[in-house]
Amino acid sequence: MSMSEPLFDPLAWLILLPLAWATLAFVLGPGRGAWPAIAGLATQCWLALDLAQKVGAGGTAAHVVGGWGAPLGIDLAVDGLSAAMLLLTQAVALPLAIYARSYFKPGDPAGTWFWPLTGFLIAGLNALFVSADLFNLYVTLELVGLAAVGLVAAGGGAQQVAAALRYLFATLVGSGAYLLGVALIYGAYGTVSIATLLPLVTDDAPRLAWIAGGLMVAGLMLKTALFPFHFWLPPAHGGAPAPVSALLSALVVKASFYLILRLWLGPLQAVLPAFAWLMALLGAAAIFWGSWQAIRAVKLKRLIAYSTVAQLGYLFLIFPLLAAPGAIHAGVMQVFAHGLAKAGMFAAAGVLIKATGQDTVAGLAGAVERLPVTMFAFGLAGMTLMGLPPSSGFLAKWQIIEAALAQGHWIIAAVVLAGGLLAAVYVLRVLRQAFLMAPASATLAPVPRTLEWSAFALAAASVLLGLRGVELMQLPGAVT
Amino acid sequence: MTSHELLPLAVLASSLLPGLIIFALPEAWIGVRTFLNLFAAIAKLGLVALLLAGVAAGEEYGVRYAVLPGLELALKADALGMLFITLSAILWLFTTLYAIGYLEGAPHRSRFFGFFSLCVTATMGIAMAANLFTFFIFYELLTLSTFPLVVHRGTDKAMKGGTIYLAYTLIGGTALLAGIVWLHHLLGHTEFAHAGIAAALGPEYAGQLKIIFLLLIAGVGVKAAIVPLHGWLPQAMVAPAPVSALLHAVAVVKAGAFGIVRIVYEVYGVEFAQSLDLLYPLAIFAAVTILWGSFRALFQDDLKKRLAYSTVSQVSYIVLGVALFGPIGTIGGLVHLVHQGIMKITLFFCAGNFAETLGIHKVSEMDGAGRRMPLTTLAFSIGALGMMGAPLTAGAVSKAWLMDGATAARMDWAIWVLWTSSLLNAAYFLPILWRAWLRPVPAAWPEEHIARRGWRETALLLLLPPLFTAAATLTAGMLADSEATPLAWARLIAEREYIGQGRP
C-alpha cells in the first residue's frame, strides 16, 4: 500500500458532485435539472479521466486512503479496477444525460424525477467503486438499487410498476444476502475493512467464512442478473424509458459484477475460487440462453435486454482463468465494450421507438433509409456485441480466448466463439428488418438530432476503443 | 513519421476518408460525390504507383502500432501484397466509373458509395496486413462493408442472398479467428515472413498445426468459395452488377484466395506445409472445386449465376497453383490472381450492360444481342475466351504456367483437371457467344431501358470500363513476357519465396 500524491479531492468530488446536482434537480422541481446534471457530469468525466491517468501512470498499486473522518468512518480507496469503472461510469452517463435531455419532453411523466434519481444513482455507483470496506459497499449497493428501481418505476405504466416491483424484490433479496454475509464476516473476523481482512481470511478459513462468501456472491449474482437469476432483468430493462434502460444495462449490473470481482481478488480470495467453474458454467448458460431469447424476442427492447443477459455471461467466463493476468484485462475490456455498446444500442432503440411509435422488431422496415445515423449506431454497437473487429468487443473476446487457451481451457474459447455467432443472429435480425423497404403507409415521427448523435457517439466509442486499448489495459495492471 | 510509414497509411486513407465524407453527403449532391469518388480512386492509383515503384526497387514500407500490449496492428507493402493492391486499385477505378453510370438516378447512392469505399479500404488492408491479426481485422471489415452492398436493393430476395452471405462468412470468420488465436498462443505472434513462422515450433506441435491449418484455410476458404464452402457466391448474385464485380474480381473472393497464399507461403512456408502433408489435400480440394464449379455453371440459365459458378471454378486455379509445390505453379497461381480479376470483371460489366440496356438476365435471352450491342458483346467474348484459356488472352498465360507447374510437381492429374475445366468452360461460354453473335435478333428485347445513340449502344460509363478491361485481358496475354506485367511481378514474388531462400 503506497501513499501517492494526494488524490483525495477528485475521489470525494466524484461522489459529492452528483449528489449536489441531484439535490438541485430535486429542488428545481419535476422534469428540471438537466443542465446542472450535464455540467456536473462533464466535470466528473474530467475528474475520472484525470484519476485514471494518475493511477495508470502509478504503474503498480495506487492505493489512497482519504482519512475522511471518524464520524462517517468512510475510507475511500482507488486502484486500477475502480479507476476504470469510474471512468466508464462517467463516460457513459454524460452522453446519456445529453440524450435524456432531448428524450424527455417537458411535462413527460416518465421524466419527472429522472434527474434527481440519476444523480443519486451515479453518486451511489461512484461511491461503490471507491469504498474500501464491506459495510459501506452494502450501503452504496442499496443506494444504487433503490435509485434504479425508482427510475424503472418512473415510467408509471402498470407494466413498468410490475417490472419495478420485481426488480425491487430481486435487489432487496440480493443486498439482503450480501448483508448477511457481511454480518457473518464481521462476526468471524471482527472487521469489515477490505485491507484488514485480506491477510486474515486464509485457506483454512472457518466454515462460517465459506457460508458468508457464498451468501455475498449469491446475492451479487442475483443483482448482476447472472443466469438463472436473470428473471427480473428483461422486464425491467426492456420496459423502462430508453435512457434508463441504457443506464441500467450499461452500468448498474456492472456494479455488482465489480463487487464480485473485488471480493474474489481481495478479501475472499482464499474462499471464492472454489466456485470458479460454477461461475463459468452459469456464464456459458447465460450466453446461450440470453442469446436464444434475444433471437426469439418480438419486441426490440426485450431483444436488447436479453442480449445484456448474454453479454454478462462473458464476464463470468473469466473466473476460472484469473490465474493468468490476461483474464482480468479481458474482463475490464468486456465491461467497457458492453457498457458503451449497450448504452448506444438502447439509445438507438429509443430513437427507433420514438420514430416508429412501436417497440417491435417487425416495425423497423425502412429504418435504414429514414434514420441512417441511428441505424449506423445500432450496427456499430452490434459489431461490438458480436465481437467483430475492429471493436472493443473483439479485443475482449480475443483476450478471453487467449487466456483460455493459455490455461488449456479450450471449452471456454469455444463458448466465446459460439456466443459471437449467436449475437450475430440477433443483431442481424434487427439490421435485416431495418434494411427492408418501408411499407408505403409507414410514417415516421421526426426525432431530435441530439438523440441520434448521442447514440452514435456511444456506439462509435465502443468501436474506436477496439483500435486503441493499450492505455485502458494499463489500469487493470494496477489492481491492489 | 517517415514517408515509408506514411505511404501505406495514405493508401488506406485515400479511400477511407472519402468514404466517410460520402456517407455524410446529402443524396442530391451528385457532383460532389462523383468528384470525391473519382478523386479518391485516382489518388489511390497514384499512391499505389509510388509504392509499387518503391517495392520494385527493394524499399521496405511498413507501419505498426500496439492495439493491446503485445498485439500489434501492422501494415507492410511487400511484393506479394502489391500484386493484389495494384489489381484492386486499378479495378476499383473502373468499377467506380461503371457504378456511377450504373446507379444513375438510383436511390441511396451516398450509402452505396460510402460502403463501396470502405470495401476497398478493407481490401487494401488485407493486402498490406503484416500479420494474421491485422489480416483478420480487415478481413471481417470486408465482410461487414460488403453486406449493405449485397442487400442494397432492399428486396426480400436481396435480404435472402445477403443473409446467406453473412452466415457463410461469419462462420468462416469464426473458424479463422479460432485458428489465429491458437497460433498466436503457440507462437506469441502471427507475423508474416518468408518461409513461414510455424516451422519454428518443434515437431511435437505437428498435430496442432494441422488443425490450425484446417481452421485457417476453412476460414479464408469461405471467401475463396472452395467447395463445399461456396454456397453463398451464387446466392449473392442478387447484388447490383458493380457489387458483383467487386465480389468476384476486386475484393471478396480475391481476399480469400490471397489469404490462402499468405497462409501457405508466409505463415506455414511452402516447404514446411509440404512436410506436414498439407499441400496435397489442398490441391485435391482445389481440383474438386475447379471441376464442380465448371460443371454447375453448365446448367445455369441465369447469366450472372453462370458467371458466379465460373468464378467458383476459376478462383481455385489460384489455390491449385499455390498447392502445386514448386515455383512454376506458384507463378501460375499468382498471375491468375490478377488475370482472373481482369477477365471476370469484364464479364460482369458486360452482364450488367445486357441487363441495364436490354433487360437480358438469362442466357436464353441472349439471341442476337451481339448485333444490338457489338462492343459489349466483343468485350464479353474476349473475357469468355480468356476464361477458356484461348491463345493471346491472359487466361492462356495462367493456364500454361499452371500446367507446367503441375508437370514440374509430378502431379499429372492436375493437368487433366485443367484440361477438363477448359472444355467445360467452352461448353458453357460458347453457347452464349453463339447465341449473341449468330442467332437472329428477336422482335423485342425483354425490357429496353437505354436506346442506341450512334455507335454508343449503351451509356458511355457502362460501355468504356468493360472495353478497357477487355483490352487489358489481351494486353496481359500478348505482352506477358515483357517487363511490368503481372507475370513479371509474379515471377519476382516466386523468386523471393523460393529462390530468395537459396533453395530453388
For the stretch B88-142, pLDDT in tens is 999 999 999 999 999 888 888 889 999 999 999 999 999 999 999 999 999 999 9
Q: Which of B474, B466, B441 is nearest to B370 (CA)?
A: B441
Q: Which of A369, A397, A401 has the highest number of chain B CBs within 10 A, making it the mutation to test binding with B?
A: A401
Average pLDDT in chain A:
89
- Over the stretch A227-276, which tens digit does the pLDDT of each residue have? 999 999 999 999 899 999 999 999 999 999 999 999 999 888 888 888 99
Whether residue B128 is contained in a domain is answered as no
Q: C-alpha grid cell for residue B67?
A: 492495439
Which residues on B lie below 8 Å from A469 (Cβ)? 67-68
A432 vs B: CB within 8 A: yes
ipTM: 0.91
Contacts of A390 in chain B (CB under 8 A): 67, 137, 141
Q: Does any CB of chain B come closer than 8 Å to the CB of residue A59?
A: no
User: Residue B501 has what pLDDT?
Assistant: 47
State mean pLDDT over A462-478.
87
Q: Does residue B294 fall inside a structural domain?
A: yes
The pLDDT value given to residue A9: 67
The pLDDT tens digits for A12-31 are: 889 999 999 999 999 998 88
pLDDT value at position A258?
96
Do residue B144 and residue A383 have CB atoms under 8 angstroms apart?
A: yes
- In chain A, residues with a C-beta closer than 8 Å to the C-beta of B174 are 417, 420-421
Evaluate if residue B281 carries a pLDDT over 80.
Answer: yes
Q: Over 50: is that where the pLDDT of B504 sits?
A: no
Contacts with B68 from chain A: Cβ below 8 Å: 329, 395, 398-399, 469-470, 473
Mean pLDDT over residues A311-318, rounded?
96
Share of chain A above pLDDT 70, in %: 94
**Interface contact B479, partner A, CB < 8 A:** no
Total number of domains in chain B: 1
State the pLDDT at residue A479.
Answer: 59
Q: Which residue of A has its CA nearest to B115?
A: A376
Using the predicted structure, report yes or no on whether residue A343 has a pLDDT greater than 70.
yes
Q: Do A420 and B111 touch (CB under 8 A)?
A: no
- Which residues of chain A lie closer than 8 angstroms to B106, CB-CB? none
Q: Does A205 touch chain B (CB under 8 A)?
A: no
- Which pLDDT value is given to residue B421? 93
Mutate: best of B22, B136, B140, partner A, most A CBs <10 A: B140
Q: Considering the domain boundaries, does residue B66 fall inside one?
A: no
Q: Measured between CB atoms, which of B107, B144, B185 is closest to A402? A: B185
Chain A residues with CB-CB distance to B145 below 8 A = none
At B9-31, the pLDDT tens digits run 999 999 999 999 999 888 888 89
CB contact under 8 A, A399 and B166: no
Q: Which residues of A touch B122 (CB under 8 A)?
A: none
Query: Averaged over B415-422, what is the pLDDT?
Result: 93
- Residue A78 banded pLDDT, cuts 50, 70, 90: confident
Question: Range of B352's domain?
Answer: 278-504
Residue A436 has a pLDDT of 84
Average pLDDT over residues A128-141: 91
pLDDT of A74 reads 62
pLDDT of residue B203: 86
Res A215 pLDDT > 80: yes
Is residue A61's pLDDT more than 50? no
Q: What is the spatial distance between Cα A29 and Cα B435, in angstroms, rounded to a whole number? A: 80
Query: Is the pLDDT at B249 greater than 50, yes or no?
Result: yes
Please answer yes or no on whether B163 and A432 come within 8 Å at the CB atom: yes
pLDDT value for A56: 84
- Give the model's pLDDT for residue B70: 84
Asked whether the predicted pLDDT for residue B439 surpasses 60, the reply is: yes
- Judging contacts by C-beta atoms under 8 Å, the chain B residues touching residue A420 are 174
Distance from CA of A201 to the nearest CA of B (A): 34
The CA distance from B324 to the nearest CA of chain A, in Å, is: 33
Task: Choose the weakest-confidence range: A40-49, A310-319, B217-226, B321-330.
Answer: B321-330
Within 8 A of B115 by CB-CB distance, chain A residues are none
Choose among A369, A406, A424: nearest Cβ to B108. Answer: A369
pLDDT of residue A478: 58
| pLDDT one-digit tens code per residue, B322-368 | 998 888 998 999 999 999 999 999 999 999 999 999 999 999 999 99
Residue A4 confidence (pLDDT):
41
- What is the per-residue pLDDT across A149-201, written as a single tens digit (0 to 9) for each? 999 988 777 888 899 999 999 999 999 999 999 999 998 888 888 888 888 88
- Greater confidence (B318 vs A62) lies with B318
Residue B386 lies in a domain: yes
Q: What is the pLDDT of residue B448?
A: 86
From A390's Cα to the closest Cα of chain B, the distance in A is: 6
Residues B480-501 have pLDDT tens digits of: 888 778 898 888 888 877 755 4
> Considering only alpha carbons, which residue of chain A is nearest residue B107?
A369
Q: Per-residue pLDDT for B502 more than 60?
A: no
Q: What is the pLDDT of residues A88-111, one digit of tens each?
A: 999 999 999 999 999 998 888 888
